[in-house]
Amino acid sequence: MQTDVHRFPLADPGDVQGLRQAIATGLVDPREIVAVIGKTHGNGLVNDYTRGFLTQSLAFLISGATGETPDAIRQRIPFVFSGGVEGVLSPHYSVFTVTESRSVESAEKALAIGVAFTPELAPGDVGRQRQIDLTAEAVIRAMRSANIQSSSDVHFVQIKGPAFTLAEILADADAGGRPASDNPGKLMGLGRAASALGVAKALGEIPASRAVESAIGRDFEAFSSVASCSAGVEVRANEVIVVGMSSQWSGPLAIEHAPMKDALDTTGIRSALSGLGFPDVLQLSSKQASRIRAVFVKCEASRDGVIRGKSHTMLNDGDIDQQRHIRAAVGPADPVSGALVRPCATARLHPVIGPGWLATGDASAAYDPLSGQGITKSLRNGVLAAYAAADALLKPGSLGLTRYAAILDAQFAGYQRAHRAHFARETRWASAPFWARRQFVPSGAGGQISVAFPKEVWHDSCWKPKCQTYETKNGRPTGNIGANGP
């Protein structure tokens, strides 16, 4: 047998165009699809319905291509989607396929995959011993189906378990069930913990005596180093995907894993890459990264509220769930995807005005991001642009645009002086390109900038300057700019 992995971008939660095209061109045989894992646009919490929408969309697509019913598709293919693409995370999904062939023992192990499902779970089963034990049994079945002989060859176990709404939890309690919590979000977390203990039990990472309900949320030394556990309202059983290496499989793909010590730890990712023969570098080249089919990372905010001796507020934020914080934090710690390099030098547009137009914000000037002035200047110049545009439209022939350009000239000149003065304070690396660029003083630069305004005032609905001079000192405007404006 041979497995393959295909990754597709996700423009929206119902976007299946990538897989549809792959099926149409013969790249993917829909009958060979055995599992799908991905990231969707939702919040990743109980009320995230983007996961179910993508599951339904893919089930209908595969159903139409194979002749199976959508329900039959969902009963044989785990669709494991995690909501939340905060920060620089990108929505996508990875499709695992298996090509059947006669199993032949080989000296070289290759990528292997097996899947299994637990029976359906009720709210009273989640976070309880039954979920732990059923998960362990399903992991063992998935290992057997993948012909993975040893737990040491298992590198990744993805679990998708059920989540329930408050109404469903209360209904189960009324019917005699014993939900571990009536808080849907907390129950979701307890279910993930129970699933992880089930994985650890099945793989022998902890003894069965420690894979017990009483350990959930208490015994933090009982864990699995290969489990990635998620939950959602779109499923009603624990769906299990086991990925590892087996001598019964063939093909060019391999898998490795390593734990991360905390949310900032890139050495764990680099360790896994090194295990696959990649160089131990901070960022893989685009050629090296193109060899990688998929990377799966799972994380939670540290429970003690501290990362590397410094406190974090992820667990105390009443507005944003900790899961969303941690995803945004860990997303950039990726040596695989490749850095996006963009110019960010100081620059300006000249002229900033013309017949019937003016430029403002980033369109008029770009500031060194280290100065922290770009946003405030863009906001301020947007206000100035509004006054200038109103004056030009309501009073043709006025000097509103000219004054606007003069203010931006003075502002930019003041910024340049302050910028050079700031970086000139560091003299140790004057010849280094970074510092040399920021300490360069063009010919004729320096001195106080004063721009004389004509005495004609602005239209009544705009500014009425009380002075005819706009000056900058240390990069900041001085003078009474106007009675009705900032």
Q: Among all chains, which residue has been given the structure tokens 């785990």?
A: 78
Q: At residue 142, what are phi and psi to the nearest 5 degrees?
A: -65, -40
**Separation between Cα atoms, residue 407 and residue 286, nearest integer Å:** 44
Catalytic residue flag (residue 201) = no
Do residues 136 and 211 lie in contact, with contact meaning Cβ atoms separated by under 8 Å?
Answer: yes
Which among 195, 224, 228, 230 is annotated as catalytic?
Answer: 230
Do residues 449 and 413 lie in contact, with contact meaning Cβ atoms separated by under 8 Å?
Answer: yes
Residue 387, token pair as written in the block: 């006054």
**Separation between Cα atoms, residue 239 and residue 116, nearest integer Å:** 6
Catalytic residue flag (residue 311) = no
Query: How many other CB atoms are found less than 10 A from the CB of residue 454?
Result: 10
**Separation between Cα atoms, residue 85 and residue 231, nearest integer Å:** 16
**Separation between Cα atoms, residue 118 and residue 136, nearest integer Å:** 9
Give the helix/strand (H/E) hosting 272. Answer: helix 267-275
244 strand-pairing partners:
112, 154
70: preceding bond cis by omega (within 30 degrees): no
Which among 39, 109, 160, 377 is annotated as catalytic?
Answer: 160
Nearest to 205 by CA among 192, 229, 228, 224: 224
**Separation between Cα atoms, residue 195 and residue 161, nearest integer Å:** 8
Active-site residue numbers? 160, 230
